[in-house]
């Protein structure tokens, strides 16, 4: 008699373009069909149902989680990830991390719900919090610390020993030099070169990066 456990049902939060891209990545993951199988999307935008490869099963804000389900939050904005993950976390739901094509050195530790697009490289002894999202081809150096819900765009370089806070957004092609600290909630503009510590909540642009003040 076959006693192989059935793969868990994986549900993707967001049926938008990013969610569908994540579904595409998941199809090539070695865990697909073994540890989990994607069964659908959770989204509260009813107009997306016709464009998804799998059904939109419900609203993530009201979904009742099952022990046989795992969730992946495919939302780029830190605040959106917090909002839509919170009701499920309150139920004790399990959030999986997707590491397809991640080049991970020894000693790397990460929390729940992290998402890495292919060809991300991560140095030794780096520590990541929960719900960190890193887009393709970015490089994270050794002994870097990254807080919860931070988003890192494509082609970003984070130097060794850097400290990146929670809810940070680093846009594509930015460079964070080694041992620099980026405070919680900061935004690093596309192509910015960050050479000195960044206070919490500010927006940095340019090379060298300077605080951008909205008028």
CA distances from 35 to 29, 63, 130 (A): 10, 22, 20
Give the distance, in angstroms, between the CA of residue 26 and the centroid of all CA atoms in the same chain: 14
Joined together, the tokens standing for residue 47 give 């107009």
Going by DSSP bridges, is the β-strand pair 115-116/133-134 parallel, antiparallel, or unpaired? parallel
Please provide the size of the chain in residues: 215
**Burial grade of 62 (CB within 10 A; 0-12, 13-18, 19 or more):** exposed
Confirm whether residue 40 is marked as ligand binding.
Answer: no
In the chain, alpha helices (H): 17-26, 78-90
Cis before 208 (ω within 30):
yes
- Residues in the annotated binding site for substrate: 76
- Residues in the annotated binding site: 76
């Amino acid at each position: 008699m076959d006693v192989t456990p059935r793969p868990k049902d994986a549900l993707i939060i967001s049926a938008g373009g990013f969610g569908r891209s994540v579904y595409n990545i998941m199809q090539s993951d070695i865990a697909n069909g073994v540890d989990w199988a994607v069964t659908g999307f959770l989204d509260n935008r009813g107009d997306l149902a016709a464009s998804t490869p799998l059904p939109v099963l419900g609203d993530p804000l009201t979904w009742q989680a099952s022990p046989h389900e795992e969730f992946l939050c495919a939302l780029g904005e830190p605040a959106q990830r917090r909002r839509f993950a919170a009701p499920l976390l309150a139920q004790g739901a399990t959030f999986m991390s997707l590491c397809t094509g991640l080049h991970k050195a020894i000693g790397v530790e990460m929390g729940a719900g992290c998402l890495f697009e292919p060809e991300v490289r991560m140095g030794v002894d780096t520590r990541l919090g929960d719900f960190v999202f890193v887009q393709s081809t970015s490089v994270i150096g050794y002994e870097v610390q990254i807080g919860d819900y931070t988003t890192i765009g494509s082609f970003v370089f984070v130097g060794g020993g850097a400290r990146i806070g929670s809810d940070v957004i680093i846009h594509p092609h930015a460079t964070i030099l080694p041992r620099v600290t980026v405070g919680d909630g900061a935004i690093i503009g596309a192509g910015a070169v960050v050479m000195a510590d960044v206070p919490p909540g500010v927006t940095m642009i340019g090379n060298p990066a300077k605080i951008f003040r909205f008028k």
